[in-house]
Amino acid sequence: MSRPLTLAEKVWRDHVVAPGVEKDGQRSPDLLYIDLHLVHEVTSPQAFEGLRLAGRPVRRPDLTIATEDHNTPTLEIDKPIADPVSRKQVDTLRDNAEEFGVRLHSLGDDDQGIVHVVGPQLGLTQPGMTVVCGDSHTSTHGAFGALALGIGTSEVEHVLATQTLPLNPFKTMAITVEGTLKPGVSSKDIILAVIAKIGTGGGQGYVLEYRGSAIEQLSMDARMTICNMSIEAGARAGMIAPDETTFDYVKDRPHAPQGADWDAAVEYWRSLRTDEGAEFDTEVVIDADALEPHVTWGTNPGQGVGLGESVPWPQDFADPGDRDSAERALRYMDLEPGTPMRDIRVDTVFLGSCTNSRMEDLRAAAGLIRGREKDPEVRMIVVPGSQKVRLQAEAEGLDQVFKDFGAEWRFAGCSMCLGMNPDQLAEGERCASTSNRNFEGRQGKGGRTHLVSPVVAAATAIRGTLSAPSDVLAAHPA
Amino acid sequence: MEPIIRHTGVGVPLRASNVDTDQIIPAVYLKRITRTGFEDALFSAWRRDPEFVLNQPAYSAGSVLVAGPDFGTGSSREHAVWALKDYGFRVVVASRFADIFRGNSGKQGLLTAEVEQAEVERLWKELETVPGAEVEVDLESRMVRCGAVEAPFAIDDYTRWRLMEGHDDISLTLTAEQDIVDYEASRAAFKPTTLPART
């Protein structure tokens, strides 16, 4: 019998087109087949241009799908995009999709939205697949037990031309999360705690596999949040073994296998779990029972603490690099060491992004704010991850809950996660954001970001300061 | 791709760890549809500070960036590599690189030389003591030299070979065309296709 394998190793094994060759003590990468290539307007224009210059076609348009998300406005989507540079980039994608025969969901189309929300929703993301996109948050699709990699534009061109990618082997890390999350604690808090524990470079060279009883209890939306931010720990990808929750999610979606294909697919998918006795290169354990809502205080996603804690003192960091980084972060964030996180007042709350903009996220936030009042000083923007999510939320009346609360209900896209469209923070503006990156200037020049879960975002919008749902339940009865 | 075997140029000490690609090139510059002309975008937020290292005349013509650990984290934007190259950098020296950034660099002929952090500290000291000092990076012997500092660097064999030969990936892969065709013939029937579109 062959040696026991991890989930990631199995998916890798099943996609090797040509193994690397050993020559003069050097091994070339394995050539892997790519099952699904997701494309958006920002990282693709130079790749299509490369194809044109070399006279190459897209090898498999039928394994490729494009959507407009990063530049698209979330208001007045029926008007031309105001920023001429954004408009040009979107128009370029439209021209390229037309010329190369790639399926595109444009602004205004019911299937338009953030590429990492659209793929799963259409049933195109399935267990055991290799999925790539010129976007680091491609790791999202690992929630289905797919090997999903963010790639650069040269690689986008490579996949368009060959449907393959030369890849060097990775190491494997098990992140075992055992126990049950307390009420008000969500999968966002799990991944923020993981990043705080292993650091923003802790996952480098690894594919992470999240496992354990706490992970098994999570819905697909919650699992996607975790895998999405694997990249924030520096990892190549993050994965979760497919189970009944996964199969139930995929079943009957537009591109799910049907009939006999479905049975064959499920039989294969069941075989993908990490074998008994398979060895991981590294193992990390997280106690779900002990987790609290988690928030960041700094300018990288590893700079976070429990909501009940305070802004740390830079001198408490043993590593000189971490100390410098903390000092710089506190200057940028305009925070004093020792300040309780709960005392930090925000100007804006952003609910959206490929991390937290799915139905479950919107339902959880709406559930908390229903019948309560927003802090009058706070602006809240709600941006569904896709038009389908928007339509579903409207069918459930969630849009009205948000509007009654005083939040802005927008059209789908990446929006304020990275401010490539008009949704940006002003200089010095402080934001509780359900997105994935609190980098300097990420949400707008001089903007200050605290990463939070959807329910912490909702509680913060009610109280005006960083808050847990339990704070709201205690002080603001609905 | 232009081969790179040995490079000598002015070293730029960048005393910062976790330099993410949003700092290397903010998202506002990603709207362009060209592959060149990003030199103005490099570190554009930091360059507004007159004290920033690239605003100091001794370093402004630098081509070897010496940075803190975890360089290139965050977004996968290859524009970060284009901006570094367009500015004139051929080498980045650091003790740890983010995976996607390192991959993108290898494809564009930007050498990422992984050096122990203690050696990075010595390089910083040397470059700050002698502003404008040159750093020699030798891919053949995998050594970085600057003044009295001489340090080995790590880079994977395959990337090193490709950089030294100047090979581009697509033409290398297309030599395996028959393997791709054979693999496609063996793919499971239940795998999804995006066309015809179902919604």
**Reported ipTM:** 0.93
pLDDT at A255: 98
Nearest alpha carbon to residue A100 among A151, A149, A49: A49
A383 and B CB contact within 8 Å: no
Distance, in Å, from the CA atom of A180 to the CA atom of A167, rounded to the nearest integer, reads 37
CB contact under 8 A, A324 and B17: yes
DSSP secondary structure letters along B159-191: HHHHHHHT--HHHHHHTTHHHHHHHHHTS-TTS
Q: How far is CA A161 from CA A189, A378, B175, B176, in A?
A: 39, 48, 13, 13
Helices (H) and strands (E) in chain B, counts: 7, 7
B125 and A CB contact within 8 Å: no
pLDDT at B105: 95
Count CB-CB contacts under 10 A for residue A360: 18
Using the predicted structure, report yes or no on whether residue B191 has a pLDDT greater than 80.
Answer: yes
Peptide bond preceding A312 in cis form (omega within 30 of 0): no
Distance, in Å, from the CA atom of A39 to the CA atom of A41, rounded to the nearest integer, reads 7
CB under 8 Å to A197, separation ≥6 — which residues? A284, A286
Rg of chain A on CA atoms, in Å = 22
* Min distance A467 CA to chain B CA atoms (Å): 27
CB contact under 8 A, B170 and A54: yes
**Please, which residues 206-225 of chain A have a Cβ atom closer than 8 Å to chain B?**
none
pLDDT at B158: 87
Nearest alpha carbon to residue A40 among A414, A464, A443: A414
Token pair belonging to B47: 């360059």
Average pLDDT, chain B: 95
Q: What DSSP designation does A421 have? A: S
Using the predicted structure, report yes or no on whether residue B126 has a pLDDT greater than 90.
Answer: yes
Distance, in Å, from the CA atom of A318 to the CA atom of B174, rounded to the nearest integer, reads 50
Which runs of consecutive H residues, i.e. helices, occur in A300-380? 320-333, 359-369
Distance, in Å, from the CA atom of B146 to the CA atom of B123, rounded to the nearest integer, reads 7
* Min distance A290 CA to chain B CA atoms (Å): 28
A314 and B CB contact within 8 Å: no
B40 and A CB contact within 8 Å: no
Using the predicted structure, report yes or no on whether residue A448 has a pLDDT greater than 90.
Answer: yes
Average pLDDT, chain A: 96
C-alpha angle B36-B40-B45 in degrees, rounded to nearest 5: 130
Kindly list the residues from chain B whose CB atom is less than 8 angstroms away from the CB atom of residue A135: 75-76
Report the amino acid identity of residue A188: K
pLDDT at A404: 98
Strands A171-178 and A282-287: parallel
Least confident segment among A184-193, B38-47, B163-172: B163-172
pLDDT at A129: 98
Residue A1 confidence class, pLDDT cut points 50, 70, 90: low
Token pair belonging to A311: 């802004």
Tens-place pLDDT, residues B136-183: 999 999 999 999 999 999 999 889 988 998 888 898 899 899 999 999
Residue A402 contacts residue A370 (beta carbons within 8 Å) = no
Tens-place pLDDT, residues A118-137: 999 999 999 999 999 999 99
Residue A463 φ then ψ, to 5°: -95, -20
A17 and B CB contact within 8 Å: yes
Tens-place pLDDT, residues A414-439: 999 999 999 999 999 999 999 999 99
C-alpha angle A140-A146-A150 in degrees, rounded to nearest 5: 50
